[in-house]
Amino acid sequence: MRKRLVDQFFEEAKKRGVTMCSISKKSGLSESTLRSWRRHEPLLGNFMALVQALGGEVQITWEKKNKSKVD
C-alpha cells in the first residue's frame, strides 16, 4: 500500500527534527491546520506551501500516451 503524502511529510519533518510550530510559522499555516491533516486531506496549495517550507518540491508528472485529437 502506498503511503499518503501527508504521512510521508510528517515522517520527513520528524527525521529532520523540525517542530510543527516552526514549520507552521515558516509556511504561514496554523498548527491546528497541520494537525487536522492526520484525518483530513489538505488543499493542494496548502500542502505545497508546507513542503516548500521544509525545503522540498512538489512535481506532477503526466504519463505520455498516444496523441489524439480531442473534438
Kindly report, residue by residue over 8-42, the tens digit of the pLDDT.
888 999 999 999 999 999 999 999 999 898 888 89
DSSP state of 23: H
- The answer, as to whether pTM is greater than 0.85, is no
Number of domain units in the chain: 1
d(CA 5, CA 8): 5
64 located within any domain? no
Largest Cα separation within the chain, whole Å, is 52
User: How many residues can be counted in the chain?
Assistant: 71
46 located within any domain? yes
Surface-to-core class of residue 34, CB atoms within 10 Å of its CB (0-12 exposed, 13-18 middle, 19+ buried): buried
16 located within any domain? yes
All three cell numbers of 3, joined, read 503511503
